[in-house]
Amino acid sequence: MKAPACGTPTARKYLDFVGGLAVNVLGHAHPVVAAAVAEQARQLIHTSNLYYTTPMIALAKLLVENSCLDRVFFCNSGAEAIEAAIKLARRVGYDTKNGAYEIIATQDGFHGRTMGAVAATGTARYRDPFQPLAPGFSHVPWNDLEAIKAATTDKTVAVLLEPIQGEAGVNLPAPGYLKGIREWCDERGLLLILDEIQTGIGRTGTLFAYEQEGVEPDIMCLAKGLAGGVAIGAMLAREEIAKHLVPGDHGTTFGANPLATATGLAALGFIIENKLPEQAARASERLMARLRSMEDRLPVVTEVRGRGLLIAVGLSKDVSADVVAAARERGLPGQQRAPQRRPPHAAPHRHGRRNRPRLRHPRGIHPGGNGRRGEIAPPGNEHERGPLPHGSGPRGFACRGRAPATQQGEAGGALRSRVTLPAAPGQSGTRGDGAPGSPARRPAIRRGALRRSGVRG
Ligand SMILES: Cc1ncc(COP(=O)(O)O)c(C=O)c1O
C-alpha cells in the first residue's frame, strides 16, 4: 500500500496515523479503492433508492456473511446509522413493547452530531448547547452493569453503546461487561445496539469488536472505514428486528448509492481477503509492546491502553498538549485528550517504527514535564472537527441471498484484488427465532463463527 503520508501546500509531509479519524483503513490512494471509484463512476454513480443495484446487494451480502446480522440499511455517515438504529429500536418498542422508547447509553459515549445521536451521546459539552434534546435517553457510567440494570424501566427498549469508547479516549470494557449487558438484555427483552462505527472494519484486530467479547448485538452501526474513505454508513440488524421497519418508515436519497457501495465492496473485500484485521492485531502487539516499555521508562506516560490499532497513550496533564504539538511538528498528527493512534491496518511496519520514536522523544519535552513551549506549534484540535428481503421491508435494506454469487473488484496497478463472494446460501428464511432478547434464540456457539465456517447458525 501507499505510505499514509500527506503533503501540504507548503510541501510539508505528515504521516497520517490518525487515519482520517479511523476512516482511511487502507491508507490514502489505495489502488483498490481508487480503481473501484473510477470504475463505478464510469458506470453508475447514483440511482434513486427505488431500485436495487448490484453493488448495494453485494456489499450487504458480504456484510451479513461476515457478521452475526441479517439485514443492512445503507446511509451516508455514522450519525445517520445511529439515527436509523434509534428509529428501528423505537419501532420495535412501538410494535411489541407497549410503546417502550427509552434507550440507555453510557456517559462519555459518542454517537454523532445529529439530534438523535447527540441525545444518545453521553458527553455534556456535545449535548448541553443544543437543548432541548430528543427525550428518552439516559446515561449511565461506563463499565457499570448494575447502573444499566438500575436504569431499566418498563419503558426501556434498548441499550446503546460502543464496544470500546473511542472519542472518550479509548476506554476498554471491563472483562464480562458486554456479556453482562447481553445477558441483561436477553433477560429483560431489550435490544443491544452496538456502535461499531469506530471499532468496526478490523480496527481492533477482528472485523468487529464484538467478536472478542463473546456477545452478538441485535443492531450494529458501521461507517468510517467501511468504504476505505468514501462516505458511507450502515445499520445492520437481525432479521426479526429489521422486519419492523416497513416501506416508508425510513430512507435516504444517497444511501446505498452505487459509488459508495461498490467502493465499500472493494475495500471490505480486500480487508477480509487479505486478513487485515489479523494484521492489525499483529501490528498492535508490536506497537503496544513498545509503547508499554515507554510507560515503564517515562514518568509522563501514565497509561497505554487500546485494542488492535485503536490505541491511546495517557500523558500527565502538564505535558499532553506539548507532546501532541511536538509530534505534529515532526509530522505525526494525533489527538490531544489522550493522544490516539488509528493508523491504517495495512501500515507497513516501518511506519509503526516511525511512530514510536516520535512519542519517545518529542522535541521540546523533558521527561519531567517542562515543555519548552516557545519551540513548538500550538496544540492541535482536542477532538474531532468540527429491505429489502427482495420485496418487503424498509427501503434501503438488503438481505443475503439472491445476490450474484461473485462480484469482482478489480484493482489497477501492482495491487490487484479479486473479491470473490461465497456462493449464495441455498436456504432462505430467518435464523434465530424468538422475541427480541429471548434467551432461547441464542445458540451456545456464536453464529458469526458458524457463518464464517460455512454453517448456518
Ligand atoms: C463511535 C462513533 N459513533 C458515531 C460517530 C459519528 O459518525 P459520523 O461522524 O460519520 O457521523 C463517530 C464519529 O467519530 C464515532 O466515533
CATH, residue 13: 3.90.1150.10
* Domain count along the chain: 2
Report if residue 308 sits inside a domain.
Answer: yes
Domain boundary among 375, 405, 426: 375
Question: Are residues 418 and 354 both part of a single domain?
Answer: no
**Ligand 1 within 6 A of CB of 77:** yes
Q: What is the pLDDT of residue 394?
A: 34
Identify residue 75 by its one-letter amino acid code: C
Q: Cα separation of 453 and 455, whole Å?
A: 6
Give me the half-sphere count of Cα atoms (radius 13 Å) on the Cβ side of residue 251: 15
Look at residue 404 and tell me whether its pLDDT is greater than 80.
no
Report if residue 380 sits inside a domain.
Answer: no
Q: What is the pLDDT of residue 396?
A: 38
The percent of residues in the chain predicted with pLDDT above 70, rounded, is 71
Question: Are residues 84 and 199 both part of a single domain?
Answer: yes
Question: Are residues 354 and 405 both part of a single domain?
Answer: no
Question: Are residues 351 and 265 both part of a single domain?
Answer: no
Question: What would the mean pLDDT of 172-191 be, rounded to a whole number?
Answer: 98
Regarding predicted confidence, which is higher, 405 or 258?
258
CATH, residue 75: 3.40.640.10
Cell of 152: 431499566
How many residues does the structure list for the chain?
457
Name every residue whose Cβ is closer than 8 Å to that of residue 255 and which is 6 or more positions away in sequence: 49, 73, 74, 75, 76, 80, 233, 396
Question: Are residues 264 and 193 both part of a single domain?
Answer: yes
Give me the half-sphere count of Cα atoms (radius 13 Å) on the Cβ side of residue 178: 22
Q: What is the pLDDT of residue 62?
A: 98
Predicted TM-score of the model (pTM): 0.78
Q: Which domain holds residue 168?
A: 31-274+387-452
Calculated CA dihedral for residues 36, 41, 42, 45, nearest 10 degrees: 130
Of the candidates 428, 434, 431, 427, the one whose C-alpha atom is nearest the C-alpha of residue 448 is 431
Q: Cα separation of 196 and 224, whole Å?
A: 9
**Ligand 1 within 6 A of CB of 209:** no
Question: Are residues 293 and 363 both part of a single domain?
Answer: yes
Report if residue 11 sits inside a domain.
Answer: yes
DSSP bridge partners of 192 = 159
Active-site option among 70, 195, 218, 322: 195
Report if residue 382 sits inside a domain.
Answer: no
Question: Are residues 253 and 129 both part of a single domain?
Answer: yes
110 belongs to the catalytic site: yes
Separation of 223 CA from ligand 1 center, angstroms?
8
Question: Are residues 204 and 353 both part of a single domain?
Answer: no
Q: What is the pLDDT of residue 6?
A: 58
Question: Are residues 193 and 330 both part of a single domain?
Answer: no
Cell of 194: 452496538
Q: Do 103 and 89 contact (CB within 8 A), yes or no?
A: yes
**Ligand 1 within 6 A of CB of 223:** yes
**Ligand 1 within 6 A of CB of 167:** yes
Cell of 331: 509530522
Report if residue 457 sits inside a domain.
Answer: no
Domain boundary among 375, 395, 421: 375
Question: Are residues 158 and 300 both part of a single domain?
Answer: no
Question: Are residues 304 and 433 both part of a single domain?
Answer: no
Separation of 78 CA from ligand 1 center, angstroms?
5
Q: Cα separation of 282 and 277, whole Å?
A: 9
Q: How far is CA 134 from the centre of its chain?
A: 24
Return the ligand 1 atom nearest residue 77 CA.
10
Look at residue 18 and tell me whether its pLDDT is greater than 70.
yes
Regarding predicted confidence, which is higher, 444 or 177?
177
Lowest mean pLDDT among 89-103, 140-154, 380-394: 380-394
Report if residue 103 sits inside a domain.
Answer: yes
Of the candidates 91, 44, 80, the one whose C-alpha atom is nearest the C-alpha of residue 394 is 91
Active-site option among 61, 87, 224, 243: 224
Report if residue 421 sits inside a domain.
Answer: yes
Residues 42-78 as b or e (16 or more Cβ within 10 Å = b): eeeeeeebeebbbbbbbbbbbbbbbbbbbbbbbbbbb
Task: Answer left, alpha or beta for residue 429, where phi above 0 means left and psi between -120 and 50 means alpha.
Answer: left
The tens digit of pLDDT for each residue in 222-274 reads 999 999 999 999 999 999 999 999 999 999 999 999 999 999 999 999 999 99
Q: What is the pLDDT of residue 193?
A: 99
Question: Are residues 262 and 153 both part of a single domain?
Answer: yes
Report if residue 381 sits inside a domain.
Answer: no
70 belongs to the catalytic site: no
Domain boundary among 310, 340, 375: 375
